[in-house]
């Protein structure tokens, strides 16, 4: 059995996994962000609660970037693990094998095996939450890429500045990664809010903008039309390069079926492969994708 964890900046969730679709929830605790000893103790307490065997492996989905070569974690949200080889250090503390992957990778791994990607050889999972990210699974196996950055389509100067939606020209916004013009600045929840502010001078949460859009508000329609154009162009390029059979979308915006359908309708005419079925779809695993993906990570490690 695998003890699976989904670790975010505020909460640690855990489950005992006998398989990707057989999880026994062990509960959740606050994430100790500044004290690694307290962080390790929280993990150990949940493992003990589950009653896994003394040598049972631990598999973790964590916010941030995990370099598969060095094992180093980059995680601004949890300072006590930032810059640390989490698998090694936590494994030493627990006396167990520890596997670690970032949350976007675990999301797409879960969707590929038990969600919208089931039956597809190549699955690109797109995250449109607070920011934009993603991950890639090929033939059922996670492809983390060099530095653990495969699928991270949210960064790079790729956002269009000339668009078909008024005002027809758009500046590149500065991104937290240090570049300008990244998809992360306009493509997800904070991006919708930034675009709405730029277009209309009004600060609204993304949930309110989406609600107004679905109710037929003209200003919200302009914001969403612009956001869909800015997202669909780079996503179409990703599809052409990677060749996924399906693109499940997770994160908060993935909960809006209407928005994802509109993005799908904008992406498919822009790709080389012609499809008469949806390609970009809402994720099916919205609550426990991190735990399911972590469980799959652990189960993969046990395959002969």
What pLDDT, on the 0 to 100 scale, is given for residue 253?
94
For tokens 């099916």, the residue is 284
Q: Roughly what angle, to the nearest 10 degrees, separates helices 206-214 and 189-200?
A: 70
Q: What letter would DSSP give residue 169?
A: B
224 within 8 A of 259, measured Cβ to Cβ: yes
What pLDDT, on the 0 to 100 scale, is given for residue 49?
86
- For 26, counting Cβ atoms within 10 Å of its Cβ (0-12 exposed, 13-18 middle, 19+ buried), the class is buried
Q: What is the pTM of this model?
A: 0.91
What pLDDT, on the 0 to 100 scale, is given for residue 303?
64
How many Cβ atoms sit within 10 Å of the Cβ of residue 229? 17
Same fold, 2-105+287-301 and 117-282: yes
**Residues of the chain under the 50 pLDDT cut:** none
**Fold classification of 117-282 (topology level):** Nucleotidyltransferase; domain 5 (3.30.420)
Report in angstroms the alpha-carbon separations of 279 from 138, 226, 262, 268.
Answer: 16, 20, 11, 7
The fourth-level CATH superfamily of domain 2-105+287-301 is ATPase, nucleotide binding domain (3.30.420.40)
Q: Where are the domains of the chain?
A: 2-105+287-301, 117-282
């Amino acid at each position: 059995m695998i003890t699976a964890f989904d670790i975010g900046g505020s909460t640690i969730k855990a489950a005992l996994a006998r398989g990707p679709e057989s999880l026994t929830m062990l509960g959740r605790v606050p994430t100790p962000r500044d004290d690694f000893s307290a962080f390790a103790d929280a993990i150990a307490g949940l493992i003990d609660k589950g009653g896994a065997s003394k040598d049972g492996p631990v598999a973790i989905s964590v916010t941030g970037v995990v370099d598969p070569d060095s094992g180093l974690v980059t995680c601004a949200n949890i300072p006590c693990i930032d810059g640390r080889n989490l698998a090694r250090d936590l494994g030493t503390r627990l006396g167990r094998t520890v596997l670690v992957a970032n949350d976007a990778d675990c999301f797409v791994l879960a969707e590929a095996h038990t969600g919208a990607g089931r039956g597809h050889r190549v699955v690109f999972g797109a995250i449109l939450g607070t920011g934009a990210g993603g991950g890639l699974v090929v033939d059922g196996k996670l492809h983390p890429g060099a530095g653990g950055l495969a699928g991270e389509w949210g960064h790079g100067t790729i956002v269009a500045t000339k668009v078909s939606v008024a005002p027809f020209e758009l500046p590149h916004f500065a991104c937290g990664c240090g570049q300008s013009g990244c998809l992360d600045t306009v493509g997800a929840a904070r991006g919708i809010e930034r675009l709405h502010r730029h277009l209309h001078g009004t600060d609204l949460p993304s949930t309110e903008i989406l609600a107004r859009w679905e109710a037929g508000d003209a200003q919200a329609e302009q914001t969403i039309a612009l956001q869909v154009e800015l997202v669909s162009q780079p996503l179409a390029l990703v599809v052409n390069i990677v060749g996924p059979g399906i693109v499940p979308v997770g994160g908060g915006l993935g909960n809006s079926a209407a928005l994802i359908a509109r993005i799908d309708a904008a992406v498919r005419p822009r790709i080389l492969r012609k499809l008469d079925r949806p390609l970009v779809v809402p994720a099916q695993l919205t609550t426990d994708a991190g735990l399911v993906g972590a469980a799959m990570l652990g189960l993969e490690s046990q395959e002969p």
